[in-house]
Amino acid sequence: MFLRKNVLLLFQTGGWVSADCTDFRSTLCKPCPDGTFMDHPTYHPVCYISKSCDEGSGLKMKTSCTKVSDTVCEPLEGFYCSDSRKDDCVEARKHRHCEPGEYIREHGTSSTDTVCSTCSDGTFLDGTFTFCQKHKQCESEGLLLLRAGTKTEDAQCGDIPSDWTGLIVGGVLGHLAVVLVALTAWFCREKITSFLNRSKNL
């Protein structure tokens, strides 16, 4: 056994033992067949079967199998490696898709997921743009606000109906008339109060 180990450890990687050594001959070794490998000196009678990179799991081949190394996998486009061992990706996951109302703060890579953030107040993102947009300011455009904006939708504006113009003008004039009457009444009351006070002092 001691002689066998000493002899076997001199054997290079990439092969398997086809016949053990005896008192009359050394160990017989053969190279690993295609699709198998052996990455360390050994006295195993078989080579390891090379793994495959499953596209259904989001993986693709980075480096093909050789006689001395296993296949190395990496994530497909749109995926990131969620579990790796040395340079080999064991498990991959799809990059996160930001929801409506969120924007991409950091794009995903082969090793990291996409990072999303919520749009700030007064802005929205409906999936059409890559960054948050400001809500329309209906009033500043001379339009009527029909529906306020949200995180996922822009504000909805509309034209002011022509028959509303008279109502608006009438409403403004009506308010001014009320204010004017109130001021006149207050002024008259002050004058009467002042007159009565002077009469008492006479």
pLDDT at 140: 87
Task: Tell me the average pLDDT across 167-188.
Answer: 73
Residue 67 carries which side chain, given as an amino acid letter? K
The CA-based dihedral angle spanning residues 65, 69, 71, 75, taken in that order and rounded to the nearest 10 degrees: -140
What DSSP assignment string belongs to 158-187?
EPPPHHHHHHHHHHHHHHHHHHHHHHHHHH
Let me know: does 73 contact 89? Beta carbons within 8 Å: yes
- 3-state SS assignment for residue 202: coil
54 vs 70: CA distance, rounded Å: 15
Per-chain mean pLDDT for the chain? 81
108 vs 114: CA distance, rounded Å: 4
* pLDDT, tens digit (0-9, with 9 covering 90-100), for 8-51: 444 567 665 665 555 555 567 788 889 999 888 877 778 889 99
* pLDDT, tens digit (0-9, with 9 covering 90-100), for 107-124: 999 999 999 989 999 999
